[in-house]
Each structure stands twice: as structure tokens, then as C-alpha cells.
Amino acid sequence: MSHQLISSISSRRAGRAITDQPIDRETLTQLLQAAHLAPSCANNQPWRFVIVEDESVLSQIKEHLTGGNYWAKVSPAIVAVASRVDLDCQIPDGREYHLFGCGMAALNLMLQATELGLIAHPIAGFKSRPIKEILNIPEDFTLITLIILGHSTQDHGRLSEKHRGEETAPRDRRPLFDVAFWNRFDFVVPKADSSSS
């Protein structure tokens, strides 16, 4: 049977067991090309990437990860994804598309990394201001995510007990039809529990 995209989508995981083995520029460029082929509103291409593989810049960035992202400290390459609201469609009724576009580009990058046998794990757990300064990202840009790259390893010894469990746990998703509805939006927002107040 021909290779199906769903198999890459299914095998992509936000893995944490990675090694410090370098990733060459050719491979990193392939990941960026995949990201850059993402669709965007009016083809605005709102994504801006900073690919960090210089050892001294990497180590400065790693000082500003949250404690829970200790596992990312061995990463040989990190992609910072930044954008600004005026780089993409702003529809007068309030819709702004730059984050959406960057999300699609980021997923393209992650899926291509999966194809190449790499881990590409997006994180929000970092201090934005100092990292933007280190990377020369202007203040009025949002640093949306850092994508932590690395070769995966079966050695889970560096991971916390919780993360060791998550590394091999089955996919955790809500039932499909809690989030998808035929023909009519049917999501009931859970009511706040008034008895506990």
C-alpha cells in the first residue's frame, strides 16, 4: 500500500527523549522548506523563523526554559517561530490570522521532521522577553513557540518519571465527537460548579 500521510500524522509525537547529536543544515533547511509551503491568508506567509544551532546562542536560550522543559536542554537545534498581527489578514469583525498561519507552518515542519525520523516538539514553556532579546526579535513580535528538535532515543534515563510514562503512553485525545459535530455546532460549554462557591 502507498505511504499515507495519516501514518506520519499518527507517528508524530511530542517526544522528550532526544539526543545532542547535531542536525545538519541541509536537514534543517528541508524542515523550513516544508514549513514555508504552508497555506496562509492571501498568501501573506506571516511566519518568521530563527533557527538556532550555534552552541553559545543555544545555551543562552536554554537558560530561559521553564523547569518542566529541562529535557530540551540537550537539543542541538531549536526553531523560534515569531509573527506580528499586521503580517497577516486582519478581518474587520475581529479575526486575526497570523497565529493560525504560523500554526500551520509549524505543523508542516513537525510532520517533515517526523518523516526524517526526528523529534520536533513545540513548547510554550519559556520566558519570551529574554529569548526575544537574545535572538534580536523585535519587541512588537510575538514569539509564539520554540520547536525543540532532536534525534529520538530509546534511552529515557534523562526523563522524569512522569515524562518517562508519557513517552510511551498511547495517544491521549478526547472522543472525536466531543469536538466535531455533523451539520450544527453542538458543543455544550460546561457550567461552572456553583455548589463549590
Ligand X SMILES: Cc1cc2nc3c(=O)[nH]c(=O)nc-3n(C[C@H](O)[C@H](O)[C@H](O)COP(=O)(O)O)c2cc1C
CB 109 within 8 A of CB 33: no
8 A C-beta contact, residue 151 and residue 17: no
69 binds ligand X (CB under 6 A): yes
Instruction: Please tell me whether residue 122 binds ligand X under the rule CB under 6 A.
Output: yes
Does position 9 interact with ligand X (CB under 6 A)? The reply is no
Judged by CB under 6 A, which of 7, 10, 14, 33 binds ligand X? 14
C-alpha cell at position 179: 469536538
Question: Do residues 89 and 44 touch, judged by C-beta distance below 8 A?
Answer: yes
How buried is 106 (Cβ within 10 angstroms: 0-12 exposed, 13-18 middle, 19+ buried)?
buried
Residues β-bridged to residue 52: 78
The residue range among 46-54, 75-83, 121-129, 150-158 that interacts with ligand X, by the rule CB under 6 A, is: 121-129
Q: Looking at 3-11, 24-32, 112-120, 123-131, which segment touches ligand X (CB under 6 A)?
A: 123-131
Q: Looking at 24-32, 49-57, 94-102, 116-124, which segment touches ligand X (CB under 6 A)?
A: 116-124
Q: What burial class does residue 170 get, using C-beta atoms within 10 Å of its C-beta: 0-12 exposed, 13-18 middle, 19+ buried?
A: exposed
For residue 113, what is its C-alpha cell? Answer: 521532521
Minimum distance, C-beta of residue 170 to ligand X, in the bound complex (Å): 10
Q: Is 37 a residue that touches ligand X (CB under 6 A)?
A: no
> How many residues touch ligand X (CB under 6 A)?
10
Binding to ligand X by residue 145, rule CB under 6 A? yes
Task: Rule CB under 6 A: choose which of 123, 134, 142, 158 binds ligand X.
Answer: 123
Q: Answer yes or no whether residue 124 interacts with ligand X by CB under 6 A.
A: yes
Sheet with 118-123, edge to edge strand ranges: 48-52, 77-83, 142-151, 118-123
Asked if 108 interacts with ligand X (CB under 6 A), we say no
Query: What residues line the site for ligand X (CB under 6 A)?
Result: 13-14, 68-69, 122-125, 145, 171
